[in-house]
Amino acid sequence: MKRKLFTILLSLSVVLAMTACAKTQTAAPAATTAAAPAATQAAPAATQAAPAATQAAPAAEASALPAGFPAKDITIILPYGSGSSQEAILRTACAYVEKKYSLPKSFVIVNKEGASGEIGLTAAYTAPHDGYTMAMFHSPYLTLDIVRGSECAFKYTDFKPICNFMIDPTCWYVNGSNKDVYPDFKSLVDAALANPGTISVACGGLNTSEGRFIQQIQRETGAEFKIVPIDNDAEFVAMLLGGHVDALVCQLGDVQNHVADGEFVPLIVGTPEHDAKIPDVPTVTDLGYTMESYSMRSLAALSDIPADIYDFLAKAFEEAMATPEVAAKAAELGIDLTLLTPDEIQKKWDSIHAATLHEWETNPWQ
């Protein structure tokens, strides 16, 4: 029986503006630490064949800095390990905002991975709500307050979108050296049916969009995979590169360079439409599945920060994301930007959360 998998990866974008190039937790400036490419659901049509930067109109320039802001460094928490493509793009955007508005302080990027994003987002939520803490918010995090209930310290409505980076389809991959063993997705599923619990598949976590995608495939096919949750992009990529797992489920943007080099072979795309970068790879619709899996990656602020600070940050990062510098970094990483306004992001969040809540109430995946 086919059910809709709203594998939601939310990446909300919320970045703050400050002096010279932004710094990491280890004091590395945001602009100088280039991160390697780094994990499901919304309007998939927007995820496919998107131009290098999708935007409606030139961004309006941010208004003057709020009085006395920033008086200290602004922390941006990434609820996952270092080395992702969106981190590299974020650093480029931060550097632009710092320089353009001559910020007296800096953006400090801190990676807090674990618990499918909950650890990092809890750290952001429990920080003072003064406009000096933001977080990357991926659409899969929208499930946390549903799955974890009262044990989750925050609700998705406690965060407010600043800007969006990309909408990235989720795919299943095998190592290029095993393309004859698993020439298509059916062969991988058949292997799991014949050997329950032995075909290993890495992903970013059980409650991420990728983890839900795997579980949805299991429910629809009857296959049982050995799910290997790894809450670090670089580590789960290394697992497949080293042949330590049979397959990997993650967003295309995380491993696009490995796909282009033939190191990873995608077997299925988690959206109804074909992706322009891998047009010959079958989609979930092609193979008769009804679920979808993709991730929005956004920057977000806490929802109750001072209005003047929020307005400045939203406009400044909207402007930054539309710059040639950010476009060049995205092109270098092989990323198609999907730029959305805060209102557009919020509408997608609300839709995804409502659909996921309905799925959880009718057929929980745990």
Domains in the chain (CATH in brackets) are 6-168+294-362 (3.40.190.150), 170-292 (3.40.190.10)
pLDDT digits 0-9 by tens, 165-191: 988 899 999 999 999 999 999 999 999
What pLDDT does 289 receive?
92
Residue 208, C-beta contacts closer than 8 angstroms, at least 6 positions apart: 7, 9, 39, 116, 117, 140
Considering only CA atoms, which of 117, 160, 110 is closest in space to residue 138? 117
Torsion of CA 51, 57, 59, 60, to 10 degrees: 180
What pLDDT does 61 receive?
59
What pLDDT does 84 receive?
85
Considering only CA atoms, which of 158, 157, 159 is closest in space to residue 350? 157
Considering only CA atoms, which of 129, 35, 32 is closest in space to residue 78? 35
Please, how many CA atoms are within 13 Å of residue 130, restricted to the half-sphere of its CB?
Answer: 11
Considering only CA atoms, which of 82, 90, 117 is closest in space to residue 16? 90
pLDDT band at 6 (very low <50, low <70, confident <90, very high): very low
Average pLDDT over residues 142-168: 94
pLDDT digits 0-9 by tens, 310-365: 999 999 999 999 999 999 999 998 788 999 999 999 999 998 899 889 878 877 76
More confident residue, 309 or 143: 309
More confident residue, 103 or 231: 103
pTM for this entry: 0.68
